[in-house]
């Protein structure tokens, strides 16, 4: 008879990748000032966002001077496809090597990305670059935004649990810098220049491999919140949408939904050994600390990743997780992220 309690999927490996161009925050500030100098009366005050973002450098698939010129949506999306496949191949190869597997050992591929459009999807394109089996099951996911790192990982874990013994390759890539629209002189687009970076991650998940156990996952979508975060699809591409009210909403709402999620596991906040949160920005990290009443250093890894890579949308929390695993962070870890919907994603990882 089948077991009433199927084995937990295990995170057998996790690898990250970034493109080659390094953007120092002070250099980006100079470019931002050149681009927006005629658009805001209070630009001198707004330029403080570069200093207050908690970011020292980011990585980009194009050099900094590329942003000084106008580029069509078609040109930017072609760059997205080429660079996304390259970064996914790099991360996937390293993750497979860590797990002692080859592409032919993978049964399921799950890909999360929301910063470009690809049809055929990125997983199909990657199959032309790596020798995966032709019967591999594919699940491309678009639209999760910053929440995609955790929610996508949960979808991959659910696939692994539904197919015991299958080897699932979870992939995530976000090239947020390429969404910059030169003619958009809105405050949201200006703030995005101080936050967004590019990156990718890959993980192998299976019920019959060793690794940190992925024991639970869940999510919450708030009502009447569609205008808080996302893209406005316009003639020249993706118009960034995020509300200045996000930190306040996190302070007011996040603890309740987190406790509701943990209640389903018969545990509470005090039972969590490490909080691995998506660092959407310095203000959001501070709001998470306030909401959960955390010690000042509890989200140190999130702040470190924000400092070193910026906000890479869905991929960012996977960089936080990779850093935690490298440091052998022990015990029960709670991954969380926030994204369009407006939604929160959660995943509990037993790294003991």
- Taking the C-alpha atoms of residue 180 and residue 238, their distance in angstroms, rounded to an integer, is 8
Q: How far, in Å, are 55, 84, 153, 236 from residue 119 at the CA level?
A: 33, 13, 22, 19
Residue 317's pLDDT band (boundaries 50, 70, 90)?
Answer: very high
**Residue 40: pLDDT above 70?**
yes
What is the predicted pLDDT for the residue at 2? Answer: 47
The contacts of residue 307 (CB under 8 Å, 6+ apart) are 54, 55, 56
Query: Of the CATH numbers 3.40.47.10, 1.10.357.140, 1.10.260.40, 3.30.9.10, which one belongs to the domain with range 212-350?
Result: 3.40.47.10
Residue 332's pLDDT band (boundaries 50, 70, 90)?
Answer: very high
Give the up-direction half-sphere exposure of residue 117: CA atoms within 13 A in the CB hemisphere. Answer: 8
What is the predicted pLDDT for the residue at 229? Answer: 83
Residue extents of the structural domains in the chain:
10-206, 212-350
57-101 pLDDT, tens digit each: 999 999 999 999 899 999 999 999 999 999 999 999 999 999 999
Q: How many helices (H) does the chain have, and how many strands (E)?
A: 11, 13
The closest of 164, 81, 169 to 133, measured between CA atoms, is 169
Q: How far, in Å, are 22, 310, 329 from residue 48 at the CA level?
A: 21, 16, 34
Tokens of 203: 């993980």
Helices (H), the chain: 25-36, 43-46, 48-52, 73-99, 122-127, 148-162, 187-193, 246-263, 282-292, 300-309, 316-326
Tokens of 71: 């580029």
303-314 pLDDT, tens digit each: 999 999 999 999
What is the predicted pLDDT for the residue at 32? Answer: 85
- Taking the C-alpha atoms of residue 316 and residue 143, their distance in angstroms, rounded to an integer, is 16
Average pLDDT over residues 268-285: 93
Average pLDDT over residues 302-330: 94
The closest of 225, 32, 231 to 115, measured between CA atoms, is 231
- SS3 state of residue 102: coil
What is the predicted pLDDT for the residue at 90? Answer: 98
What is the predicted pLDDT for the residue at 213? Answer: 95
Residues 304, 293 contacting (CB under 8 angstroms)? no
Average pLDDT over residues 123-130: 97
Sign (positive/negative) of CA torsion 101, 151, 268, 4? negative
- Taking the C-alpha atoms of residue 265 and residue 273, their distance in angstroms, rounded to an integer, is 15
The closest of 97, 93, 95, 96 to 129, measured between CA atoms, is 93
pTM of the predicted model as reported, rounded to 2 decimal places: 0.94
- Taking the C-alpha atoms of residue 331 and residue 258, their distance in angstroms, rounded to an integer, is 18
Sign (positive/negative) of CA torsion 303, 309, 314, 319? negative
What is the DSSP secondary-structure string of 105-116? Answer: G--EEEEE--SS
Active site residue 146: yes
Tokens of 320: 């936080």
Counted residue by residue, the chain has a size of 352
Residues 352, 10 contacting (CB under 8 angstroms)? no
Average pLDDT over residues 257-282: 94
248-260 pLDDT, tens digit each: 889 999 999 999 9
**Residue 352: pLDDT above 80?**
no
DSSP state of 7: P
Superfamily of domain 10-206: Thiolase/Chalcone synthase (3.40.47.10)
What is the predicted pLDDT for the residue at 42? Answer: 78
**Residue 1: pLDDT above 80?**
no
What is the predicted pLDDT for the residue at 4? Answer: 60
The contacts of residue 339 (CB under 8 Å, 6+ apart) are 144, 145, 146, 147, 148, 151, 229, 314, 345
Q: How far, in Å, are 67, 125, 195 from residue 85 at the CA level?
A: 22, 7, 23
Classify strands 108-112 and 168-175 as parallel, antiparallel or unpaired: parallel
**Residue 150: pLDDT above 70?**
yes
Identified catalytic residue from 146, 172, 176, 277 = 146
Share of the chain above pLDDT 70, in %: 98
**Residue 31: pLDDT above 90?**
no
Show the CA angle centred on residue 220, arms to residues 219 and 226, nearest 5°: 125
**Residue 121: pLDDT above 60?**
yes
């Amino acid at each position: 008879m089948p077991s009433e309690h199927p084995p937990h999927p295990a995170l057998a490996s996790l690898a990250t990748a970034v493109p080659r161009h390094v953007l120092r925050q002070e250099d980006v500030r100079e470019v931002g000032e050149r681009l927006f100098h005629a658009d805001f009366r209070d630009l001198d005050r707004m330029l403080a966002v570069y200093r207050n973002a908690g970011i020292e450098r980011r990585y980009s698939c194009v050099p900094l001077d590329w942003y000084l010129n106008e580029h069509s949506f078609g040109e930017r999306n072609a760059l997205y496809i080429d660079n996304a496949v390259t970064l996914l191949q790099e991360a996937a190869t390293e993750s497979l090597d860590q797990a002692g597997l080859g592409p032919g050992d993978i049964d399921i591929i799950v890909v999360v990305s929301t910063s470009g459009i690809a049809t055929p999807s990125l997983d199909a394109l990657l199959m032309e670059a790596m020798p995966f089996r032709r019967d591999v099951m594919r699940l491309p996911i678009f639209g999760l935004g910053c929440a995609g790192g955790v929610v996508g990982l949960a979808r991959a874990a659910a696939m692994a649990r539904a197919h015991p013994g299958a080897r699932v390759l979870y992939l995530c890539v976000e090239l947020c810098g390429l969404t910059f629209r030169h003619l958009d002189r809105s405050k949201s687009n200006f703030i995005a220049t101080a936050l967004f970076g590019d990156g990718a991650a890959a993980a192998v998940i299976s019920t019959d491999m060793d690794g940190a156990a992925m024991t639970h996952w869940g999510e919450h979508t708030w009502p009447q919140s569609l205008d808080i975060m996302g893209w406005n699809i316009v003639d020249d591409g993706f118009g960034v949408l995020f509300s200045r009210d996000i930190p306040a909403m996190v302070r007011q709402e996040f603890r309740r939904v987190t406790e509701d999620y943990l209640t389903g596991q018969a545990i509470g906040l005090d039972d969590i050994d490490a909080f691995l949160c998506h660092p959407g920005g310095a203000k959001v990290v501070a709001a998470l600390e306030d909401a959960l009443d955390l010690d000042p250093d509890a989200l140190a890894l999130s702040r470190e990743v924000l400092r070193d890579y910026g906000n890479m949308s869905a991929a960012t929390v996977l960089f936080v997780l990779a850093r935690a695993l490298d440091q052998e962070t022990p015990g029960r870890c709670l991954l969380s992220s926030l994204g369009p919907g407006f939604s929160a994603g959660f995943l509990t990882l037993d790294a003991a």
